[in-house]
Structure 1
């Protein structure tokens, strides 16, 4: 087996009891039937036998296999097996092998692309967030020893290559990662370009596409866009009819290559950047979306760390009754001030977050490429809102001589708490899906989010 990882994950080591927000709190942890059985064997005849029987229950949703059981929690939300030293009592006594896959692997996220296992990281871990956001070379990918890719058997299989959607996924993803790193273009314009690229690909590259099939006479049509009108803003390129000598599959592959190549063009990116700059949209809706996401999560999360930060952020924007337009004015002023003071540093945070997003969340899990881009931009928007409302950032803007380390600390906290309590929550993903809509309206709503960034 070969494995690779961005450099920050090759550097990662759990800091255990020194962590400011243990992963053994605030998360629901499933255990597979096989690990549960192994654990019961290991604790048989020990004082822990009764604890394991009492504190691990069958999944209330009736799931089996990998989700068969659920680890119990204490009243404070911490795992019932966490000891006084903030260490796992099960691992300390019986070894790593008895741990559920999530406990063993986290914050590592394993994905298998063909024969290659990739290891990315979840920013829900403070140490992972620190390493990912703050080191300039954090997202450089390199080979890692096999033993670092713990439990590769649980890796998600993404690019099996048995359908066109996954067969071309790595090529498309690499083009997206290259586009994100075009530093001569403003970051928001790169996200806009990603959306436009996804729009250009969307009518023939999607889950279940037949555009790349060799059989003649079949039409490829995205089911969600079958009767949709053309989007108001067109892509920067117009495809000509393929040469009659090309097979259907060759024509689709050539078209895919042309679209991806078009977004490598400096002229295309400059044109898109100018378009985005000239586009005027109100910021109130963006502020309203970010506020709504966080309010919904406050009602569902019990973590004091999360709730305290969200309360402070809300207060910094004027409180619960502030109109979104007023909150936006505060945000825009802070954004401009922070850009003048620490623009490059803030750019690094969000660039690394975006690059990691496409390593951590394969776009093939989305309903379309455009939906995957939309979800990235929504997540980035929520983090941007939290960061610019963070008390430490507000204080920094009032005292511009504050060391950059204070900004780094605030960024790590903002990205980490959002990753842990918002980004993967089913309610947030449902909200994102509803907000995105379908077809051309997804791109229109993407524009609102991109302009807010």
Structure 2
């Protein structure tokens, strides 16, 4: 097996009890039948036998296999096996092998593209967020030792090649990464270009497409000036590699006049929707501080937008390149960590990327430490870095993967041209 990872994940080492958060809280953790059986063997006849029997219960949904059991939680939402030093008592005594797959692999996210296993990272871990956001070479991909790709059998299979949607996924993903990495147009223009590229591909490149079948390709090849679907795909991707295309799209985006209130309203609604479902005091404290910084519960979306624009311009003037690095690295990691093939189509995948970036941008520009930094321009950039890590990490942990957020995103996106129109509103906020 060969494995690769962005450089920040090759550098990653869990900092355990030194971490400002814990991955052992706030999540429902399943355990597979095989790991559960191994753990029972390890604790049999010992002081932990009864504890394991009482704290791991069959999945109430009746699931088996990988979801057979559920680890218990304490009243504060932390895993019942977390000890007083913020370490896993099971791993300390019985080794990594007894851990559920999610506990062992996190914050690693494993994806198999053909024979290649790729290891990206979840920014829900503060240390991966730090490593990903704060180093300019964080997203350089390189080979890693096989041992770093823990439990590669858990990798999601993406590019199986069994259908056109997955068979062409890798070349499309590489085009997305190239476009995002371009420095000759602003970051928002690159996201706009991603949306346009997805729209251009959307009428023939989607799950279940028949445009790439042999019979279809032959009929296209026989028709005058009618390229095959594969040729169309390659042509569109080349178009978005061209500097002229991006410069034209940049000019289009800058000429658009769209209201900003809806952007601020969407971001605030996402944060409100999660408050009742999250027990983390770090998250709740940050969200309440952000809300107050935008004017409190009674502020209007238009007023919040005006504050956001003022802060965005001021922060760009002070630390524009640093902030650009945060969001570029976040976007590149998003493409690696969330294969677009999981979405209903490419445009919806781009929409979700832009929505997630918008929510984090809203939080960062409302972070009390960032607001104070703008009032005191001489504040060290380390203060901004710390606020960014906290913002990206807490949103990744408590918002980005939450079912309520994903349902909201799906409803907000709509379909086809409607999705692109709503994506424009989000892009203008960035």
Counterpart-to-counterpart distance in 1, 2:338 and 2:30: 20
1:262 and 2:239 correspond: yes
Once residues 216 and 268 of structure 1 are traced to their aligned partners in structure 2, the CA distance between those partners, rounded to angstroms, is 29
1:203 match: 203
* Structure 1 position 340 matched with structure 2 position 317: yes
Contact kept, 8 Å, 1:210 with 1:218, in 2: the verdict is: no
- State the partner residue of 1:442: 419
Looking at structure 1, the residues matched to 366 and 84 of structure 2 have their Cα atoms a distance apart, in angstroms, of: 34
| Structure-2-length-normalised TM-score | 0.98
Q: Structure 2 matches for 1:229-248, cutoff 5 A?
A: 244=223
Secondary structure of the corresponding residue to residue 241 of structure 2 = coil
Separation in structure 2 between the aligned mates of residue 303 and residue 262 of structure 1, nearest angstrom: 46
Task: List per-residue Cα deviations over 1:74-126 (Å, max 9, x = no partner).
Answer: 11111100111111000010000000000000000000000000000000000
Asked whether the 8 Å contact 2:107–2:128 carries over to 1, the reply is yes
Deviations 1:184-232 (A, max 9, x none): 110000000000000000000000000000124999xxxxxxxxxxxxx
Give the match for residue 26 of structure 1.
Answer: 26
- Distance (Å, rounded) in 1 between the aligned partners of 2:217 and 2:229: 14
- Name which of structure 1's ranges 45-54 and 110-119 shifts more when overlaid on structure 2: 45-54
Aligned pair count reads 430
> 2:274 corresponds to which residue?
297
Whether 1:374 aligns to 2:351 is yes
Cα displacement (A) at 1:243: 6.2
Please state how far the C-alpha of 1:244 moved relative to its aligned partner: 2.8
Residue 242 of structure 1 deviates from its aligned partner by: 6.1
Q: CA deviation at 1:70?
A: 1.1
1:124/1:417 contact within 8 Å kept: yes
Task: Tell me, in whole angstroms, the C-alpha distance in 1 between the residues paired with 2:326 and 2:216.
Answer: 47
2:77 and 2:279 in contact (8 A); partners too: yes
Kept after mapping to 2: 8 A contact 1:316/1:389: yes
- SS of the equivalent of 2:57 reads strand
| Separation (CA, whole Å) in 2 of partners of 1:143 and 1:340 | 37
For 2:39, the equivalent position in structure 1 comes to 39
Q: Which residue is equivalent to 2:166?
A: 166
**Other structure's SS at 2:142 match:** strand
In structure 2, C-alpha distance between the alignment counterparts of 1:264 and 1:191, rounded to whole Å: 14
Instruction: Specify the alignment match of 1:228 in structure 2.
Output: none
Counterpart for residue 126 of structure 2: 126
- Distance in 1 separating the partners of 2:111 and 2:79: 26
Q: Tell me the distance in 2 between the aligned counterparts of 1:198 and 1:438.
A: 13
Residue pair 2:211, 2:217 contacting (<8 A) in 1 also = no
1:138 aligns with 2:117: no
Partner of 1:352: 329
Match of 2:86 in 1: 86
| Runs of 5+ consecutive residues of structure 1 not aligned to the other structure | 220-240
Alignment deviations for residues 360-379 of structure 1 (CA, whole Å, 9 cap, x no partner): 00000000000000000000
Q: Give the match for residue 323 of structure 1.
A: 300
TM-score (norm 1): 0.93
Matches for 1:344-423 after TM superposition, within 5 Å: 344-423=321-400
Is contact 2:217–2:228 with CA below 8 Å preserved after alignment? no
Per-residue displacement from partner, 1:128-168 (whole Å, max 9, x unpaired)? 00000000100000000000000000000000001000000
Other-structure match for 2:7? 7
Structure 1 segments, 4+ long, off by >3 Å, are: 216-219
Deviates more, 1:298-307 or 1:412-421: 298-307
C-alpha contact (below 8 Å) 2:109/2:120 kept by paired residues: yes
Task: State the alpha-carbon separation in 1 of the partners of residues 58 and 409 from structure 2.
Answer: 30
Query: 1:38 offset after TM fit, Å?
Result: 0.8
- RMSD between aligned alpha carbons? 1.4
Residues 1:311 and 2:257 are matched in the alignment: no
- Partner Cα distance (1:52, 1:179) in 2: 50
Work out the CA distance in 2 between the residues paired with 1:441 and 1:300: 30
> Secondary structure of 2:215's partner?
coil
